[in-house]
Amino acid sequence: MDRLPGGPTPTTQAIKAGWLDKNPPQGSYIYQKRWVRLDANYLRYFDSNKDAYSKRFISVACISRVTAIGDQKFEVITNNRTFAFRAESDAERKEWMQALQQAVIEQRARARLPSASLSGVQGSEPPDRAGSLELRGFKNKLYVAVVGDQVQLYKNLEEYHLGVGITFIDMSVGNVKEVDRRSFDLTTPYRIFSFSAESEQEKEQWLEAMQGAIAEALSTSEVAERIWAVAPNRFCADCGAAQPDWASINLCVVICKRCAGEHRGMGAGISKVRSLKMDRKVWTETLIELFLQLGNGAGNRFWAASVPPSEALQPSSSPAARRRHLEAKYLEGKYRRYHPLFGNQEELDEALCAAVTTTDLAETQALLGCGAGVNCFSGDPEAPTPLALAEQAGQTLQMEFLRNNRTTEVPRLDLMKPLEKHYSIVLPTVSHSGFLYKTASAGKLLQDRRAREEFSRRWCVLSDGVLSYYENERAVTPNGEIRASEIVCLAVPPPDFHGFEHTFEVYTEGERLYLFGLESADLAREWVKCIAKAFVPPLAEDLLARDFERLGRLPYKAGLSLQRPQEGWFSLTGSELRAIFPEGTCEEPLQLRKLQELSIQGDGENQVLVLVERRRTLYIQGERRLDFTGWLGAIQRAAASSGDTLSEQQLGDSDIPVIVYRCVDYITQCGLTSEGIYRKCGQTSKTQRLLESLRQDARSVRLKEGEQHVDDVSSALKRFLRDLPDGLFTRAQRLSWLEASEIEDEEEKVSRYQELLARLPPVNRATVKALISHLYCVQCFSDTNQMNTHNLAIVFGPTLFQTDGQDYKAGRVVEDLISHYVVVFSVDEEELRKQREEITAIVKMRVAGTASGTQHAGDFICTVYLEEKKAEAEQHIKIPASMTAEELTMEILDRRSVSVREKDYWTCFEVNEREETERPLHFAEKVLPILHGLGTDSYLVVKKHPSMEAMLLYLASHVGDTKHGMMKFREDRSLLGLGLPSGGFHDRYFILNSSYLRLYKEIRTQRTWNGVPETSHRPEKEWPVKSLKVYLGVKKKLRPPTCWGLTVVHETEKHEKQQWYLCCETQMELREWFATFLFVQHDGLVWPSEPSRVSRAVPEVRLGSVSLIPLRGTENEMRRSVAAFAADPLSLLRNA
């Protein structure tokens, strides 16, 4: 909130005050005695020196000249008005003139603007509110402006432009309250101002604006003034603008609003921006003290040690120049003073550990800014981090500084230019004008209807990247303006949501929401298009090609750049979320109804919206609360199923509604052999409850055996299909299908069905196919379930065609479709064979399970993949109870004639897609029990173990079966995967020995002879090591701090699953921990020693080893595996 020229105390102190004679208006020769007072911003005169409110004020910024005119008189000349004063003596006149001239010069220097360009006292920043008001005691209406923490009174609009007013009221002593429908009082200790507005609504807006001024006045004083107590902090650290009221709390510099905007644009990893005025809670005594000690002085000695004059910033620098400079300064560290240890990581870290125990904050700043690791290991387990060392030494300011820089990224000259700022390179110039209806801007979402009376007609002009609104088309000064570069979101509420039929919302960076309305749809669309064009950069202009409900920029993380959020451009149309990322990859739109997961993580201030699609995860960060909340609601609404047609449901991968898929899958797993399946009805209440929850959010419903009866599920599915307003075969085509059933020639009939099928909407087509395929399977088991094709047709005919079942036409269609399933749906041999095998396996498993209830039951058929999960790599294999992982591996390799060479380390992995983890089975592990425990998200794959060699080498070079050290730790506090885990990753000290994995919050230790710290404290947690299952990888949703994570699963005796996530700093560390786990769990035998596996002279397979889990391995491995996930996996191999 820049304020020109007003401002808090430091500049409002009187420069000169005293009695002068002033000549009265309109040619009278009688001079009147006035008390005249000059401060940095205003020349004011009062009736007496006891008055709080002036008769007149003249903005110093508007004074063009001060000249002597004889008789101890002098004139103060503004753009078109002259004020004459007479002093008691020549000496006194000289003093006044000098003081005035000096004030003018300083004012200009401060504004760095030639006086000619100043159009009025309001300067470059629009008032929060301005307009006409009646004031009791004045004949004519006054022009009143609420600017920053002042309420300024002018005789009229013209005076307002000229910067010559009656008086202004400092709102730090003000209080407003309403009196009646249109009137309100502004009360101060010196006087009560009784205002009357035009309407009740205007009165409300005035009250809001004045209350805002009070809040600003009250918040200004405290923190800002304390921080400005040190001279360098009184000017923006970056551009030199006066009275900077923002700060970067990690860089520890005080900055102006304009620079703050650019700081924020660099991301919180570079600069954490807070307001001195508005974020009052942030400003603890310690932080204020830190700013007094470091602040702009020390900050610039380090960050701006060598700024070439040509690259320096001015308060008036353009946004583009500002951005260039700030990125060079903080992102690249281009101007910083290099620490002598620069480039030598170890010594930097050591120096940091030493510095934090002293009071030398500038040294800490220099070390961190040159790359010292804020979380580096000090070598002292008692105080393992710099923060702990500072704490030990009682250095609270050092601690504060370290804490604020915990996540700061080290500037790098070689850093690729951040691309996220493309949008602001050059914004297209768009011009548009016309009348719009506008409400007062709001600081929160508009949940309820705004009545027509709340809108005021405004003349709006969009030009040169600014949207200005005026009282009327003749007005010269806008009531306010919105800069296109500050617009972050544009949203179009549904028609008739507010009092105007067509409305749109504009969200700004400053967290304000402006609502505009129009009666004409065309005019509204035109405005939306023009505003969108004005704030969307060329990079993202593709988003403008279609209508949207919401459009804007948001910080996001996706793909490989999970470290630092970037700004992307998003648009929402229906259930499609389009995104344009500065990385340049053209992303497919996200189908919100097809999301596998949509959740919100984090607490109030740092919320993250997580969207998981099949192979990608997108995080949208809630940096700005207002537009983020808007997006959140819109995305949630778009992702929920809404509507009558199948395609408006939540959809699965193959375009089948999740609701259908869930039911069919459950019946396939549990109901194929259930007698009378689909004929028997479930319990009405249970069926209804289930259907309701499926309709609400099918994705989140998990059908579990034992909890749901198959008949309830089958009834829910039938009910859903029967109640579909448009029906599965659509209203339009229903009759054609029924007619087709009467064609006598079978061949002709089938081809007619094919024809009709092709005409269905894609989602309906896919659903018909899935359903008939399912019924085909059901009838395969008619021996047990008594549901042959005919019986199924009797049930499903009327359901799918929504008929009363009087005639059999509908039934015949269903019967035909099942009988001719293979032909009608062009099912190929392979597909059919696979389907049969799957079903057989399921049924066998169930039969075996119920027959004996133990693991010793017959053979299981299981699908195992070679190298990667894809159809061509699939093997169905019988798993006898005695089979080990090694035997399974050899069997698969044998079948595919894969030669095994030394150091290939072929291993069977258990992969959990949902958790994004994998676990190499130990060669001696029995496979069958693992199969029993595999969820639907898991599968087995045989591939080379990429780090076995490194692990064996590590183990060979180490004696003993223990390991200890720091890891980042996070706990999954939810049971059975219900709910979301809470909290983040925290540093913990771990000790792993032959019996336990123990975790310590802090350790007070003494090194024992073997270097293992002996803890005098009880561990925070401990787990018996042999009952742990250790998986490689941590799911991305949890935002692991590094890509070298482990997921540790512990099943308690009560069969409760607990999960812990551990993250290592390096890949080597990960391998060491994992190797030690293997070593401990398998008594030192990690890999079979006898070389039976090597031999067979078959040429090497051409498949590369594609890692399945992106969160593992080197950057390159990750890239490849992510690419493999994102695209057709085969393309990767073909290119290789």
Interface residues with Zn ion (CB under 5 A)? Answer: 236, 238-239, 241, 256, 259
Q: Which is nearer to Zn ion, 236 or 249 (CB)?
A: 236
Among 440, 286, 251, CA closest to 364: 251
Q: Which is nearer to Zn ion, 256 or 304 (CB)?
A: 256
Q: Which is nearer to Zn ion, 317 or 785 (CB)?
A: 317
Q: Which is nearer to Zn ion, 312 or 362 (CB)?
A: 312
Q: Which is nearer to Zn ion, 56 or 325 (CB)?
A: 325
C-beta of 317: minimal distance to Zn ion in Å? Answer: 8
C-beta of 327: minimal distance to Zn ion in Å? Answer: 14
Distance separating alpha carbons of residues 165 and 545, to the nearest angstrom:
49
C-beta of 294: minimal distance to Zn ion in Å? Answer: 18
C-beta of 464: minimal distance to Zn ion in Å? Answer: 22
Q: Which is nearer to Zn ion, 335 or 507 (CB)?
A: 335
Long-range contacts of 319-323 (CB under 8 A, 24+ apart): 319/258, 319/261, 319/262, 319/424, 319/485, 320/424, 320/425, 322/238, 322/239, 322/258, 322/259, 322/262, 323/262, 323/265, 323/421, 323/424
CA dihedral (99, 102, 107, 110) positive or negative:
negative
Residue 821: half-sphere exposure toward Cβ, Cα within 13 Å? 22
C-beta of 260: minimal distance to Zn ion in Å? Answer: 8
Q: Which is nearer to Zn ion, 259 or 554 (CB)?
A: 259
Distance separating alpha carbons of residues 295 and 249, to the nearest angstrom:
10
Q: Which is nearer to Zn ion, 4 or 239 (CB)?
A: 239
C-beta of 247: minimal distance to Zn ion in Å? Answer: 11
C-beta of 6: minimal distance to Zn ion in Å? Answer: 19
Distance separating alpha carbons of residues 127 and 1095, to the nearest angstrom:
84
C-beta of 326: minimal distance to Zn ion in Å? Answer: 9
Sequence-distant (6+) residues with CB within 8 A of 637 are none
C-beta of 445: minimal distance to Zn ion in Å? Answer: 31
Q: Say if residues 661 and 652 touch (Cβ distance below 8 Å).
A: yes
Interhelix angle 658-670/829-852, nearest 10 degrees: 50
C-beta of 254: minimal distance to Zn ion in Å? Answer: 9
Q: Which is nearer to Zn ion, 256 or 698 (CB)?
A: 256
CA dihedral (378, 380, 386, 389) positive or negative:
negative
C-beta of 421: minimal distance to Zn ion in Å? Answer: 17
C-beta of 362: minimal distance to Zn ion in Å? Answer: 22
Q: Say if residues 859 and 879 touch (Cβ distance below 8 Å).
A: yes
Q: Which is nearer to Zn ion, 273 or 436 (CB)?
A: 273
Distance separating alpha carbons of residues 967 and 586, to the nearest angstrom:
37
Which position has the token pair 């070079």?
A: 957
C-beta of 313: minimal distance to Zn ion in Å? Answer: 7
Three-state SS string across 87-152, please? CCCHHHHHHHHHHHHHHHHHHHHHHCCCHHHCCCCCCCCCCCEEEEEEECCCCCCEEEEEECCEEE
C-beta of 956: minimal distance to Zn ion in Å? Answer: 59
Distance separating alpha carbons of residues 552 and 962, to the nearest angstrom:
53
Q: Which is nearer to Zn ion, 236 or 795 (CB)?
A: 236
Let me know if 732 is exposed, middle or buried by CB neighbors in 10 A (0-12, 13-18, 19+).
Answer: exposed
C-beta of 258: minimal distance to Zn ion in Å? Answer: 5
Among 79, 179, 182, 65, CA closest to 121: 79
Please give the torsion angle defined by the CA atoms of residues 164, 169, 172 and 174, in that order, rounded to the nearest 10 degrees: -160
User: What residue type is assigned to position 57 of the chain?
Assistant: F
Reduced to 3 states (helix: H, G, I; strand: E, B; else coil), residue 255 is: strand
148 is written with which tokens?
């920053």
543-557 residues labelled b (16+ CB within 10 A) or e (exposed): beeeebbbbbbbbbb
Q: Say if residues 1043 and 1118 touch (Cβ distance below 8 Å).
A: yes
Q: Which is nearer to Zn ion, 241 or 402 (CB)?
A: 241
Q: Which is nearer to Zn ion, 44 or 258 (CB)?
A: 258
Sequence-distant (6+) residues with CB within 8 A of 18 are 35, 36, 92, 96
Q: Which is nearer to Zn ion, 236 or 484 (CB)?
A: 236
Q: Which is nearer to Zn ion, 202 or 238 (CB)?
A: 238
Among 560, 331, 745, CA closest to 1118: 560
Query: From residue 1125, how far is each of 584, 785, 918, 1111, 1118 by CA, in Å?
Result: 19, 40, 15, 12, 10
User: What residue type is assigned to position 340 of the chain?
Assistant: P
Among 91, 770, 588, 394, CA closest to 580: 588
